[in-house]
Structure 1
């Protein structure tokens, strides 16, 4: 891929991360465990797991945005570093959203065929959590489709360099 295309994708991903960070920060700054329990009486430990995963996702997005900013400001543009960063964002942000390591929720891949949201929770969660995740999912899906190239391209480069 050419420098200008990679640079454009890095800017696009930076915009996506900025928006995502704002949404997650707003939610997490306004939401407590007590608030979730008042919204819907449920499994306290599961609610903790969900909030923990959302905080982790926020940190990953902030780190990704910082990396995008540094690369976009550097002269000359470092294409290999940008590609590696996009690969890392794909794994740390996008994949963590769809399939969190701590199993707070999961992706139902069959939902893609029905036009429904693909994120499913293991247990019943408050409406605010469902609304947040549904609101984020479309953009995460769009960016995932754009960055899947880096997943295969970066792995191919790593295998060829051995």
Structure 2
């Protein structure tokens, strides 16, 4: 991929991450476990797990945003560093959104055929969390499709360089 195409993707991902970080920060700054329990009586440990996943996602997105900013601000564009960053963002941010490690929610792959949201929660969950995930899903899906190239291309380059 050419330098200008990679740079354009990096700029697009930076914009996506900026919006995502703002949305996640706003949610976490305004949400407490008590507020969630008052919104919908449910399993406290499950709510803690969901909040933990959202915090982890926020940290990954902030790290990705910082990496994009550093690369885009440098005097000369470092294509290799940009590709590595996009690969890492795909694996940390995008995959963490669709499939968090502790399975508080999961992606229903059949939803692509039904036109419905693909994120499914394991248990009854407050509407504020459902709305947050639904609101983020479209952009995460779009960026995932943009970055899937790095899933195979970057890995292939790493194998070939050994």
Both proteins in one fold, TM over 0.5? yes
TM range (shorter): over 0.9
Cα deviation, residue 103, structure 1: 1.1
Cα deviation, residue 139, structure 1: 0.1
Cα deviation, residue 158, structure 1: 1.3
Write the deviation string for residues 81-133 of structure 1: whole angstroms up to 9, x where unpaired: 00000000000000000000121100000001100000000001000000000
Q: Secondary structure at the match of 2:134?
A: helix
TM-score (norm 2): 0.99
Residues 65-76 of structure 1 aligned to structure 2 (within 5 Å): 65-76=65-76
Root-mean-square deviation (Å): 0.5
**Alignment of 1:18 onto 2:34:** no
| Aligned mates of 2:77, 2:102 — CA distance in 1 | 36
User: Which residue does 1:137 correspond to in 2?
Assistant: 137
Residues 66-145 of structure 1 aligned to structure 2 (within 5 Å): 66-145=66-145
How many residue pairs are counted as aligned between the two chains? Answer: 162
| Aligned mates of 2:104, 2:32 — CA distance in 1 | 17
Q: Secondary structure at the match of 1:106?
A: strand
| Aligned mates of 1:138, 1:108 — CA distance in 2 | 14
| Aligned mates of 1:150, 1:133 — CA distance in 2 | 24
Q: Secondary structure at the match of 1:75?
A: coil
**Alignment of 1:50 onto 2:43:** no
| Aligned mates of 2:141, 2:91 — CA distance in 1 | 13
Q: Secondary structure at the match of 1:120?
A: strand
Unaligned runs of 5+ in 1: none
**Alignment of 1:36 onto 2:36:** yes
| Aligned mates of 1:72, 1:41 — CA distance in 2 | 45
Cα deviation, residue 76, structure 1: 1.1
